[in-house]
Amino acid sequence: MKLLLFSNSTNAGEEYFTYPLPHIKAFLNGMKAENIIFIPYAAVTFTYDEYEEKVNNRLQSIGLKAIGIHRFQDKFYAIKTADVIMVGGGNTFHLLKECYEHNILDAIRQTVLSGTPYIGWSAGSNLACPTICTTNDMPIVQPLSFAALNLISFQINPHYLDANPEGHAGETREQRILEFLAANPNKVVVGLREGCWLTVCNNKVVLHGNKTARIFKYKHEPIEHQSEKELNL
């Protein structure tokens, strides 16, 4: 199993999808990537065609092109024959709802477990988790279930922030995650800061980027995990 899971698509001040590109190229080095299937279902305020075009405008700089799953009548076959599966960010609830309604969630899971590389960012990284319960998104739609691909054993919180803005009286991101763990004490959450990503090769999970990740476990003090180190979760 080969996964590349980004916290975000775009760092502040950069052109869209700049920092992931060299890492996608390195990740796919030596792998067949002629048939990349892109899952655009996290898009809400723009069309799936527009999302596909936006991603391809950037992928072309590293010699790649993706085809949106929405273009296929036989979506199951498209996924099962893909060289790479790529899942974009946006609204995680909308993404999961569409995957259930098009009946492709299990097809993605089985295809990735059989060795097809999976690349996701933000909502696409959430989808790789056991559930989407640690997304930051508003539940604008109701999926059949919160259960996701379960490709990894832990939860990701993308775009993780330490900040508690002055004058803000609501919960911090850490408090929200601690609430999740109180309700789900057997789970582990990785707070993945922007500009960071995880590679998963079989059961080996490694953090990359120029920041640490924050590891949350029930009734344990959070741990700052160093980049380029394997996560033992």
Active-site option among 7, 9, 122, 125: 122
Active-site option among 159, 208, 225, 227: 159
The rounded radius of gyration (Å) of the Cα atoms in the chain is 17
The DSSP bridge partners found for residue 66 are 36
137 is catalytic: yes
Question: Two tokens at 73?
Answer: 């009548």
Cα 14 to Cα 11: distance, rounded to the nearest angstrom: 6
Cα 139 to Cα 158: distance, rounded to the nearest angstrom: 16
Cα 65 to Cα 82: distance, rounded to the nearest angstrom: 12
CB–CB of 113/151 below 8 Å? yes
The DSSP bridge partners found for residue 223 are 215
94 is catalytic: no
Active-site option among 9, 70, 125, 137: 137
Residue type, 141: V
Cα 1 to Cα 151: distance, rounded to the nearest angstrom: 9
Q: Which residues are catalytic?
A: 122, 137, 159
